[in-house]
Chain A
Amino acid sequence: MAEILIKNVAKRFGTYQALQDINLTISDQEFMVLLGASGCGKSTLLRIIAGLETATEGEVWIGGRRIDHLAPKDRGISMVFQNYAVFPHLTVFENIGFGLRMQKLPQADVERRVARTAELMQIGELLKRYSGELSGGQRQRVAVARALAMEPDVILMDEPLSNLDALLRLEMRAELKGVLAESSTTAIYVTHDQVEAMSLADRISVMHEGRIAQAATPVEVYRNPAERFIASFIGNPPMNFIDATPAGDGKWTVAGQVFDGPATEKGKLEFAIRPEDVRGAEQGLSLNVRVVEPLGAHLLVTGAVDGHLFRAVLDSDLVVNRGDVLTLAPLPDRVRWFDPDTTLAVN
């Protein structure tokens, strides 16, 4: 059992607050992805869990044991680094077996486990090579194999695929998911690529300016973003926002149309809808088309609704031209509302 508990963790570098008030529970064997823009503190949090950085405040527990005062080697973790960190003076075999040798395992066991992990990562025929003789993708595999061979309770990965080209990345992503599902380790995976996050994660923790904005399943994060920032960050293209004014009785006026919304006392809300959640209709929002981009499967239409930037993903059979005015009806159960003052979602 390797449940990870992060309690009230904060980190300051001098006066700079890199992390604040981080509370997160990651269940045993869960695949958790930390997603956020560059500089939001993802690596810092991961390194605090690994023991490469000390938290200014807070506690870290793994498997019911408080570990934030322990050295990295005593935490039951292993880590995959962004730039691989494959030891250049050792062969692939010695790299993968490095941690096992440190545990003083008998030679036969080391050989067996290295062979098995290498097989799993499909680098069985590279065992005699040095890292200088490997391609980026192969080095990446060695780094993952080295971490897996330790059979750790927890595996931490800091943007492990970011140095690979797009195709290899896609391939490695699928492999990584399969390998980790079999290995029954708890995984924390750092990335700023939302597609990677969506495809790998059991749950995503969206980080923003040193705090966790939302921790939920990929679908939940996509469908019900907890903050406006998440709605505007996740999804390609992201959500559309239009100002709304109250029309009484839980009704709101959006671009001249009246919609059912939350019953609050607020004098102002933001109406939000995903570009793919609108349909052509008799009555609805009128979109002044400025740009039409045929993307094959879909048609991406960009324009303005009531002066607000609005994108719609439509069926590619439609004929739309620049200057057209489309009438689009949002799917009622996909409409979301945000409070412009707190930027939080309102139900």
Chain B
Amino acid sequence: MSDVAAQTPRDTRSAGRFLYVAGVVFLVAWVLVPLYFLLINTLSSPDAVNSFPKSFIPEFDMGSLQFFAGFEGMLGALWNSAVVAAITMVISITISAPAGYALSRFHFPGKYLFRLLILLTRAFPLPLLALPLAVMFIRTGLDDTVFGLALVHTTLAIPFAVLITYSLFSGIPMELEEAAWTLGCTRVTAFTKVILPLILPGIAASAIFAFVISWNEVFAAAVLTIENRTLTAFLLQNLDTSPLHLKFAGGFILVVPALIFIFAVRKYLFAMWGIANR
């Protein structure tokens, strides 16, 4: 009797633990396995890429990468992508953070409609908007510029950024801000000295999100730029008819800068102090 009583909970616990570990392993593999194949194929000779079965150890054949390094326009496109993503990140945060703050702290007529409208901007597919946008950009001279493209990417990123910052601000108790006011702060200094430090990690996370949206966006980039292509548009244009090993290498070049960026700012993705006052 006592044996059964002692064993059952331990069994359930180890079963639960097994499921937990399996789940983690599965999710990690979900992300890492494709990246690993991308890496292997990039570092393989053209023959190895097309052969089967695959080796799990890369041959360190730099042929494909060298091809890209020498490929004309490649570095320019990489640079354009970085600039567009950076501009997108900056504009969407400067617009979204105040919008999120207003949504969480003030009551104004049409607040719920406004929140809905923000989401509705995502209801129009980009291909539908591409033609009018292109015409308008040509008229205003924004076509084929890095800044013009960043504006389009900003529109894509803003709904998410507003919703993320809105929930961040809502998570910070009103009393913290009120306490700052009674301690000599204006609305602005209370924001910079109390609210900003607390939401910085979250702001960083939504900035990264905006960066990634812009970095991955290909349709608007392909339609609205010709000379100043971003990396996605550039690769789409040039790799369409290329052999498989070059496609892998292109994908690799697209993924790595984004990974490096996210790795560099990863600490902001975790709350630094936690919002411990509740």
Q: Give residues in A with beta carbon < 8 Å to B.
A: 50-52, 71-73, 77-79, 81-89, 98-99, 102-103, 130-132, 146, 150
State whether B178 touches A81 (Cβ < 8 A): yes
Q: Give residues in B with beta carbon < 8 Å to A.
A: 173, 175-176, 178-186, 189, 193-194, 197-198, 272-278
> In the complex, what distance in Å separates the CA atom of A38 from the CA atom of B181?
26
> In the complex, what distance in Å separates the CA atom of A51 from the CA atom of B194?
19
A residues near B198, Cβ cutoff 8 Å: 88-89
> In the complex, what distance in Å separates the CA atom of A52 from the CA atom of B186?
12
> In the complex, what distance in Å separates the CA atom of A50 from the CA atom of B186?
14
> In the complex, what distance in Å separates the CA atom of A85 from the CA atom of B185?
15
The chain B residue with its CB closest to the CB of A152 is B182
Contact of A131 among B183, B193, B277 (CB under 8 A): B277
State whether A78 touches B182 (Cβ < 8 A): yes
State whether B178 touches A132 (Cβ < 8 A): no
State whether B277 touches A88 (Cβ < 8 A): yes
A residues near B185, Cβ cutoff 8 Å: 73, 102
Contact of B176 among A77, A82, A87, A102 (CB under 8 A): A87
State whether B175 touches A77 (Cβ < 8 A): no
State whether A88 touches B186 (Cβ < 8 A): no
State whether B183 touches A98 (Cβ < 8 A): yes
State whether B184 touches A102 (Cβ < 8 A): yes
Contact of A86 among B197, B274, B275, B277 (CB under 8 A): B277
State whether A88 touches B184 (Cβ < 8 A): no
A residues near B189, Cβ cutoff 8 Å: 102
User: How far is the CB of A69 from the nearest CB of chain B, in Å?
Assistant: 15
State whether A146 touches B183 (Cβ < 8 A): yes
CB within 8 Å for A85 and B274 given contacts A73-B184, A103-B184: no
> In the complex, what distance in Å separates the CA atom of A288 from the CA atom of B173?
54
> In the complex, what distance in Å separates the CA atom of A130 from the CA atom of B276?
10
B residues near A130, Cβ cutoff 8 Å: 273, 276
> In the complex, what distance in Å separates the CA atom of A98 from the CA atom of B275?
18
A residues near B178, Cβ cutoff 8 Å: 50, 52, 72, 79, 81, 85
A-B contact list, 19 entries, CB within 8 Å: A50-B178, A72-B181, A72-B182, A73-B182, A78-B183, A81-B175, A81-B178, A83-B175, A87-B176, A87-B179, A87-B180, A87-B194, A88-B198, A88-B277, A89-B272, A98-B180, A98-B183, A103-B184, A130-B273
A residues near B182, Cβ cutoff 8 Å: 50-52, 72-73, 77-79
User: How far is the CB of B181 from the nearest CB of chain A, in Å?
Assistant: 4
> In the complex, what distance in Å separates the CA atom of A73 from the CA atom of B187?
10
State whether B184 touches A84 (Cβ < 8 A): no
